[in-house]
């Protein structure tokens, strides 16, 4: 949240030209459940019929029991929303549907608009999401068609965003000028699919074709090949590096490699930068398993299962109250004492954000009788808030943001030692290329002074 405005850190799926588009979208959403657990929704349209919207609070399977979307159609767009503190509200569940004078349009959005975002003359209210602002601006547009209206509204948008929209007879996709938030195109028998990650395309049985290019605006009409135009002048691409570090699923492809392979390489780089003589390497499940494998393999150390994650809970991350956050980490992660007792342990995690997980787990390691506890983080210190859609709160609440010296961090966490992967090491693991590294480097590729009319605290 910033200025009371919900940020949309989420997953997006869309399908065109398939008789069971709503069901397929639900399959894709389940595969993207890790990107958002607060709400789920599907908007769909049968040829010649109205756009229908089904959405609700909770996991995809709670909103669509049996993964059944009650309705048929050949076009559909869907969304899972990430929980952001204080905004658990059905009104923020997506897709959003607007009935404009140009026709109905449903919009699913992953990301966050900053700067000169499109603000309608009569905005839909002070707490309206970016997505609602875009739809309100489309509704006010004097453009001759929905497509032209969307184009002209989105051409003014800045920030990190990936959106899929559904109109009366087509789908649209758009990605921000720097490609901060992800969006990929896949081919289905007889149709096309869009998703935030390739794991959702796989789940829908679609073949991955390519990423939507930064700044690309794509139109997909029934039966026709997608057409594209560039909405923005070409700028240096800056895909979010945190997608590879934490957010994406290990089987998804990022820049041609699986996220698993990238994380293994991050673990290998981390081992080269911060080796340690130890008895066992443990991963903090699930997101750091690949990095822990890479770390252990590089140092020829055994990797064992020492932590159990309760799979039936949502993510504890955004609990605003620190005490409740701690209780939720305890609920989520359990230590296997026999994997730890009497041993020199390396604990590998992908990130320390507020420090809750690390602090808690290190305490549990000591309780279980560890002789040493070395914490290794397969990314640089997370010091700066994300303004492009990963809701990591404000800078002052970030653990490493307040404490620039890693040895002070280690003392505070009661770890025997602490080693973070350097930014250079992370970029090397990614195979080079340009990325948005703002959360680690503080270098924001898009200015963030003013966010969609709200000033940052």
Exposed/middle/buried for residue 320 (C-beta within 10 Å: 0-12, 13-18, 19+): exposed
Instruction: Please identify, using beta-carbon distances, which residue of 201 and 248 lies nearer to ligand AMP.
Output: 248
Residue 287 lies near ligand AMP (rule: CB under 6 A) = yes
d(CA 359, CA 362): 5
Instruction: Please identify, using beta-carbon distances, which residue of 196 and 392 lies nearer to ligand AMP.
Output: 392
DSSP string, 179-238: --S--EEEEETTEEEEESSHHHHHHTTPEEEEEPPTTEEEEEETTS--EEEE-S------
Nearest to 78 by CA among 100, 60, 62, 65: 60
Q: Which stretch binds ligand AMP (CB under 6 A): 118-126, 230-238, 257-265, 354-362?
A: 354-362
**415, 375 in Cβ contact below 8 A?**
yes
| Residue choice 137, 157, 353, 365 for contact with ligand AMP (CB under 6 A) | 353
**19, 74 in Cβ contact below 8 A?**
yes
Q: Which residues, 231 to 250, sit near ligand AMP by CB under 6 A? A: 246
Element spanning 102, H or E: none
Cβ of residue 413: shortest distance to ligand AMP, in angstroms? Answer: 10
Nearest to 96 by CA among 114, 112, 78, 123: 78
Q: Which residues, 364 to 423, sit near ligand AMP by CB under 6 A? A: 390, 392, 399
| Residue choice 92, 290, 357, 416 for contact with ligand AMP (CB under 6 A) | 357
Task: Identify whether 199 is a catalytic site residue.
Answer: no
Instruction: Please identify, using beta-carbon distances, which residue of 103 and 314 lies nearer to ligand AMP.
Output: 314
Residue 295 lies near ligand AMP (rule: CB under 6 A) = no
Residue 445 lies near ligand AMP (rule: CB under 6 A) = no
Taking each continuous run of H as one helix and of E as one strand, the counts in the chain are 14, 24
The answer to whether the bond into 95 is cis (omega within 30° of 0) is: yes
Q: Which stretch binds ligand AMP (CB under 6 A): 44-52, 111-119, 349-357, 362-370?
A: 349-357
Residue 315 lies near ligand AMP (rule: CB under 6 A) = yes
Residue 192 lies near ligand AMP (rule: CB under 6 A) = no
Beta bridge partners of 105: 98
Q: Which stretch binds ligand AMP (CB under 6 A): 24-32, 298-306, 356-364, 414-422?
A: 356-364
| Residue choice 356, 381, 410, 448 for contact with ligand AMP (CB under 6 A) | 356
Residue 317 lies near ligand AMP (rule: CB under 6 A) = yes
Cβ of residue 389: shortest distance to ligand AMP, in angstroms? Answer: 10
Exposed/middle/buried for residue 297 (C-beta within 10 Å: 0-12, 13-18, 19+): middle
From the list 10, 199, 240, 439, the catalytic residue is 10
Residues contributing to the site for ligand AMP (CB under 6 A) = 246, 284, 287, 315, 317, 349-358, 390, 392, 399
Active site (catalytic) residues: 10
């Amino acid at each position: 949240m910033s200025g009371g405005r919900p940020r949309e850190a989420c997953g997006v799926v869309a399908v065109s030209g398939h008789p069971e588009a709503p069901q397929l979208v639900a399959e894709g959403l389940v595969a993207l459940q890790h990107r958002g657990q607060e709400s789920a929704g599907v908007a769909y349209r049968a040829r010649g019929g109205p756009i229908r919207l089904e959405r609700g609070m909770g996991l995809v399977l709670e909103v669509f029991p049996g993964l059944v979307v009650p309705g048929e159609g050949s076009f559909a767009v869907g969304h899972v929303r990430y929980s952001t503190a204080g905004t658990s509200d059905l009104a923020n569940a997506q897709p959003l549907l607007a009935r404009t004078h140009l026709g109905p349009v449903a919009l699913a959005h992953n990301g966050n608009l900053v700067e000169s975002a499109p603000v309608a003359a009569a905005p839909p209210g002070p707490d309206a999401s970016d997505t609602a602002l875009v739809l309100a601006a489309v509704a006010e547009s004097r453009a001759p068609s929905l497509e032209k209206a969307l184009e002209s509204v989105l051409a003014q948008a800045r920030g990190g965003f990936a959106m899929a929209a559904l109109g009366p007879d087509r789908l649209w996709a758009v990605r921000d000028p720097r490609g901060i938030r992800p969006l990929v195109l896949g081919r289905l028998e007889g149709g096309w699919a869009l998703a935030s990650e390739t794991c959702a395309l796989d789940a829908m049985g679609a073949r991955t074709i390519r990423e939507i290019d930064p700044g690309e605006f794509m139109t997909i009409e029934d039966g026709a090949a997608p057409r594209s135009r560039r909405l923005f002048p070409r700028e240096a691409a800056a895909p979010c590096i945190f997608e590879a570090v934490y957010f994406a699923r290990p089987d998804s492809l990022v820049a041609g490699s699986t996220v698993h392979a990238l994380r293994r390489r991050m673990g290998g780089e981390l081992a080269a930068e911060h080796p340690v003589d130890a008895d066992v390497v443990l991963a903090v499940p699930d997101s750091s398993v690949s990095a822990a494998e890479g770390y252990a393999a590089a140092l020829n150390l055994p990797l064992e299962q020492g932590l159990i994650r309760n799979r039936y809970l949502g993510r504890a991350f955004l609990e605003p109250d620190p005490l409740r956050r701690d209780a939720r980490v305890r609920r989520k992660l359990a230590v296997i004492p026999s994997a730890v007792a009497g041993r020199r342990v390396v604990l590998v995690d992908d990130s320390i954000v507020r420090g809750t997980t690390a602090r808690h787990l290190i305490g549990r390691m000591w309780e279980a009788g560890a002789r040493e506890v070395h914490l290794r983080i397969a990314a640089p210190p997370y010091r700066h808030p994300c303004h492009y859609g990963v809701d990591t709160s404000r800078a002052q609440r970030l653990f490493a943001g307040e404490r620039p010296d890693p040895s002070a961090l280690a003392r505070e966490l009661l770890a025997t030692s602490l080693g973070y992967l350097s930014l250079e090491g992370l970029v090397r693991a990614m195979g080079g290329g340009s990325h948005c590294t703002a959360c680690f480097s503080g270098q924001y590729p898009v200015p963030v002074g003013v966010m969609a009319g709200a000033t940052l605290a």
